[in-house]
Amino acid sequence: MKKMDKIAVFPGSFDPITIGHFSIIERALPLFDKIIIAIGENSSKTSFFSMEQRKKWIEKIFKNETKIFVECYSGLTVDFCEQKNANYIIRGLRTSIDFEFERSIGQSNSKLNPKIETIFLLTLPEHTFITATIVRDIIKNGGNVKGFVPQIVADDIQNKR
């Protein structure tokens, strides 16, 4: 019997990717054979950065990691997982509020497709306060995002000012 690859999807808007996202991805790498960072199109949100820009940043950040793939998608995450033969969804948890929200989504996804398991990884304590919303506010107000986002993103934002 052929061993099935452990394929995971890490969905999010990544608008922009933060060091918290980066940490979750790095820590998930040993657990899976392949991780698809799935940049979702959220119809209820207006994006700050274009999907192409977000994809380009993530591809640059993980350019030397052969287990990571970056794709854009719309629609239900479980449908995307099924298309990609992924049986796992990775989610990061910063706070108990995140847990309640993510648990509801995870249980809904399980109801939609019982073959897909949601895996929660806790954010490192030093990243708990970092959100993409906070990062966008810092950018909008001309602040320095170094220490909030991967260096590639911080440099690119700084160079565009």
Percent helix, strand, coil in the chain (nearest 5)?
Answer: 45, 20, 35
N-to-C CA span, the chain = 56
Question: pLDDT tens digit string along 50-100?
Answer: 999 999 999 999 999 999 999 999 999 999 999 999 999 999 999 988 999
Residue 126 makes CB contacts below 8 A (sequence gap 6+) with none
Least confident of 1-15, 58-72, 108-122, 143-157: 1-15
In the sheet that holds 7-12, the strands lie side by side as 68-73, 34-40, 7-12, 88-93, 117-122
Q: Confirm whether pTM is higher than 0.85.
A: yes
Residues of the chain with pLDDT > 70, as a percent, come to 97
Average pLDDT across the chain, whole number: 94
Please check whether residue 49 is in contact with residue 15, taking contact to mean a CB–CB distance below 8 angstroms: yes
d(CA 154, CA 12): 19
Question: pLDDT tens digit string along 43-53?
Answer: 777 899 999 99
pLDDT of 109 higher than 50: yes
What value does the mean pLDDT take over residues 99-106?
94
Helix orientation angle between 51-61 and 151-159, rounded to the nearest 10 degrees: 130
pLDDT value for 152: 95
Beta bridge partners of 68: 35
pLDDT of 33 higher than 90: yes
pLDDT value for 77: 97
pLDDT value for 3: 61
pLDDT of 102 higher than 60: yes
d(CA 88, CA 95): 21
Confidence of residue 25 (pLDDT cuts 50, 70, 90): very high
